[in-house]
Amino acid sequence: MTTTVFIIKILATLLFGGFIVWGYWHEDKFVEFEDLLIRAIRVYFKRRRQRKLAQKNMTYTKTSMQKPRLHFEASCPKGGCNPGGPQNRRVA
């Protein structure tokens, strides 16, 4: 068990050292990668914020874009009346 852990530690150290050497030799590629990563993170958070604002605004527009309900004031005799008849007045 301890030899396995020891081997994993040695491999991790060698990989880490290799990445440092590669980064030193290919600094221009590494800097381009860093810039690309930073740009991608900024775009992600900007779009996330826009989606949240759009979702928040949609809740307001859904309620404000509903058609107003029309109420009818009936002036019918007790026997009933025709709902589309001239006795009913439209009140907004």
The answer to whether position 25 is within a domain reads yes
The answer to whether position 63 is within a domain reads yes
- In the predicted model, is pLDDT for residue 84 greater than 70? no
Q: How far apart are CA 25 and CA 43, in angstroms?
A: 29
The answer to whether position 57 is within a domain reads yes
The answer to whether position 75 is within a domain reads no
The range of the structural domain enclosing residue 56 comes to: 2-67
* pTM listed for this prediction: 0.41
The answer to whether position 84 is within a domain reads no
pLDDT tens, position by position, 60-83 = 555 555 555 555 555 555 555 555
CB-CB contact of 88 with 72 (8 Å):
yes
The answer to whether position 82 is within a domain reads no
**Residue scoring higher pLDDT (84 or 16):** 16
Count up the domains in the chain and report the number.
Answer: 1
Share of the chain above pLDDT 70, in %: 62
The answer to whether position 74 is within a domain reads no
